[in-house]
Every structure is written in structure tokens, then in C-alpha cells.
Amino acid sequence: MERGRLLGLIILLLSVILSIAYLWAMFSGRGDIAIKVVVSIGFLVAMGILAWLGWIMFSIKPIEEIPELKEETKGD
């Protein structure tokens, strides 16, 4: 697996794991539910953007190398 795709997969998996761990930690304790909901929405939006970026990095196929063009000079 290429370096960019591997990095994308790691970012994707990390964002999903962090989101699940965050929700479990946030709502397993006691406290004001209104603040927890607002903070959770912001955190999950950030993790969603990170997961989207990781998915794009993982799913896009790399561009094949373009062979170098040789310039031919013609004498006058």
C-alpha cells in the first residue's frame, strides 16, 4: 500500500475510534447535558471532516508518472 493511502486509512480509523471513545467518555459521566450535546456536535463535525479527508486520501488512486518529454531542436 502506498504511503498516502496508508496515511489516509490511519486518519480514517483514528477519527472513528476517537469519536466513539469521546462519546462514551462524555456521556458515561455526570454533568450538564446541554453543554455536552453542543460540545459533542462540534467535536463530531471535526471528526467527520477528518474522516472525510482520510477517506479521500485512501480511496483516490495515485496518478501514474508521466514520461518525460524530450524536446527536439531543429536546426535552421
Q: How many structural domains compose the chain?
A: 1
Residue 34's domain comprises: 12-59
Residue 65 falls within a domain, yes or no? no
Residue 23 falls within a domain, yes or no? yes
Residue 2 falls within a domain, yes or no? no
Residue 25 falls within a domain, yes or no? yes
Categorize the per-residue pLDDT at 75 as very low, low, confident or very high, splitting at 50, 70 and 90.
low
Q: Are 47 and 8 in contact (CB under 8 A)?
A: no
Say which residue the cell 463535525 belongs to: 45
The pLDDT tens digits of the residues spanning 27-65 come to 787 667 777 788 888 888 998 898 898 888 888 877 777
Residue 48 falls within a domain, yes or no? yes
Residue 45 falls within a domain, yes or no? yes
Residue 30 falls within a domain, yes or no? yes
Q: Which three cell numbers stand for residue 31?
A: 454533568
Residue 28 falls within a domain, yes or no? yes
Q: Which of 5-9, 16-20, 24-28 has the lowest mean pLDDT?
A: 24-28
